[in-house]
Structure 1
Amino acid sequence: MATTEKAKEGGAIRETISVVIQAILLAVIIRSFIVQPFSIPSGSMKPTLLVGDYVFVSKWSYGFSRHSLPFSPPIFSGRIFGSDPERGDVVVFKYPPDPSKDYIKRVVGLPGDKVQLRDSVVLVNGQPIERLQNGMFEGDFQGRIIQTPIIQERMDNGAMYGTLDVQPGSSGDSTPVFEVPEGKYFFLGDNRDNSADSRYDVGLVPADHLVGKARFIFLSMENGTPAWHIWKWPSDMRWGRLFDGL
């Protein structure tokens, strides 16, 4: 009798372990090849993304590289089923100087493009991106609550999005021409005076550092509230931002 009970206990343990392993494998597959959630820790993409936003990123959009996998194992190079992002896409990528860090910015320059900022105006291949003011944005900038115009940009492919230029005439508003070689991309943050991007140490981002395309916001918490503080959702959730597409 005791032997039978022990056998049943052993079978239950093995079944539990098997279920756990299958769940982990399924989670790894989903995270690596289908969709991965990311949280927004900084204001570099204001007004599009705010600190406390959580976004879903599609992993298949640009193909797969070693950075699609957890911990970026060096098991192969390049991209499998690779394709170019489009200008205006919001993309998560690995920070080239330290691939353990994830960055999220907007694609402005594709391979073969020449990109320059001139008095806050973005030029792609010598053509200025259309700009117009579209409302005001109120937010915290370096510890001060201020209002600043939202400058809507419209690319030649129809992509439209808001940007901020809190300090017109700052050093990042006018740049040399960046020539984007094959296999690399030029990124800008929408919050142009408060973004580490391809104008600075991020540089031009290699294709195999692309992680995926940000699709939509699925949670948005203010006041620094962690998403798992469910009891604070009624007061701290930005309900109006849920499921906003990017």
Structure 2
Amino acid sequence: MLKTTSTKASLKETLSTVIWALAIAFVLRTFLFQPFHIPSGSMLPGLMKGDYIITSKYSVGYGRFAAAPLPFPVKKGRLLERGPNRGDVIVFRPDGSNKNYIKRLIGLPGDQIQMQNGQLFINGTPADQALIGEESFDIRGVAVSGQRLTETLPTGETHDIFNSQDNNQLDNTGVFTVPAGRYFLMGDNRDHSLDSRVAVRSGGAGTVPKENIIGRAEIVLLSVNDDFDLKKPWTWANMRGNRFFKGID
């Protein structure tokens, strides 16, 4: 009899612990931090395919996808809204999509954005570009060589970009005027990024409503090569040793 009571108490305690653990994990994921996996090279050279990143949610406030896949009670704007700021790397969902994207915030509401011969213009002012050197990356299974440049936005923010093609179709655009309540985001790999330069109906991100922002990318937790598989311990050595806890600029 005592044994049965003890067993029931033990099961009740275990169940209580699991429920509390799940509740704490849900609160942390919804209101503080959320991990994401980078599936492509659209943010090269700073972020690589295979990176696992941590985003902060409190830094930008809480929009409609804060608790995805569960609904969050925000239809317009963001609860406890902050920023984001020009130059931040942002995780978001484009209109009508159930996939998460990661790009750099370039245009704020009311800004005019244009690309001319591969150079970014914000409100008519060019973003300076300084050549760092030549680099090669694997993009969709193909080795692609190009230039790594440091781009300085007219408002002073700096980050590195990758240019692998001259006269790419995305190198020259018309002027985009960012609507109120929306943001203009671009990939750092300028020739291989379906971002706000491309309309949603054409497979791009279009301009992004502020309520669709999920979080700001803060650090690379770890990074793995394509042949890494958590279920296969012999592939664990295929982590990139130089990318643990790497800050995101």
Range of TM-score over shorter length: over 0.9
* Cα contact 1:221–1:227 (8 A) shared by 2: no
Q: Which residue of 2 aligns with 1:115?
A: 113
Assess, with a 3 A threshold, how the Cα gap between structure 1 residues 30 and 230 changes in structure 2: closer, same or farther: farther
Deviations 1:9-45 (A, max 9, x none): 1111111111000000000001011111111001111
Counterpart mapping for 1:81-120 below 5 A: 81-98=80-97, 100-120=98-118
How far apart, CA to CA, are the structure 2 residues paired with 1:230 and 1:157? 47
Q: Which residue of 1 aligns with 2:207?
A: 204
How far apart, CA to CA, are the structure 1 residues paired with 2:67 and 2:92? 13
* Cα contact 1:41–1:52 (8 A) shared by 2: yes
SS at 1:171 equivalent: coil
Pick from 136, 140, 147: which aligns with 1:138?
136
Assess, with a 3 A threshold, how the Cα gap between structure 1 residues 54 and 230 changes in structure 2: closer, same or farther: farther
Q: Which residue of 2 aligns with 1:218?
A: 221
Counterpart mapping for 1:153-232 below 5 A: 153-200=151-198, 201=200, 202-226=205-229, 229=232, 231-232=234-235
Deviations 1:84-130 (A, max 9, x none): 211111000012221x2100000000111110111111100000111
Deviations 1:147-169 (A, max 9, x none): 21112101134322111221110
Return the offset for 1:144. Answer: 3.1
Assess, with a 3 A threshold, how the Cα gap between structure 1 residues 142 and 22 changes in structure 2: closer, same or farther: closer
**Structure 2 residue 71 is matched with structure 1 residue 47:** no
* Cα contact 2:90–2:216 (8 A) shared by 1: yes
How far apart, CA to CA, are the structure 2 residues paired with 1:112 and 1:72? 32
Assess, with a 3 A threshold, how the Cα gap between structure 1 residues 35 and 146 changes in structure 2: closer, same or farther: same
Deviations 1:40-62 (A, max 9, x none): 00111111111111111001111
Return the offset for 1:73. Answer: 0.7
Q: Which residue of 2 aligns with 1:6?
A: 4
User: What percent identity do the matched residue pairs reach?
Assistant: 37
* Cα contact 2:178–2:207 (8 A) shared by 1: yes
Moved more, 205-214 or 152-161: 152-161
Q: Which residue of 1 aligns with 2:14?
A: 16
Q: Which residue of 2 aligns with 1:152?
A: 150
* Cα contact 2:33–2:54 (8 A) shared by 1: yes
Q: Which 5+ residue runs of structure 2 have no aligned equivalent?
A: none
Aligned CA-pair RMSD: 1.6
* Cα contact 1:54–1:217 (8 A) shared by 2: yes
Assess, with a 3 A threshold, how the Cα gap between structure 1 residues 75 and 28 changes in structure 2: closer, same or farther: same
Return the offset for 1:232. Answer: 3.0
How far apart, CA to CA, are the structure 2 residues paired with 1:74 and 1:110? 24
Deviations 1:173-211 (A, max 9, x none): 111111112210000001111111001121100000000
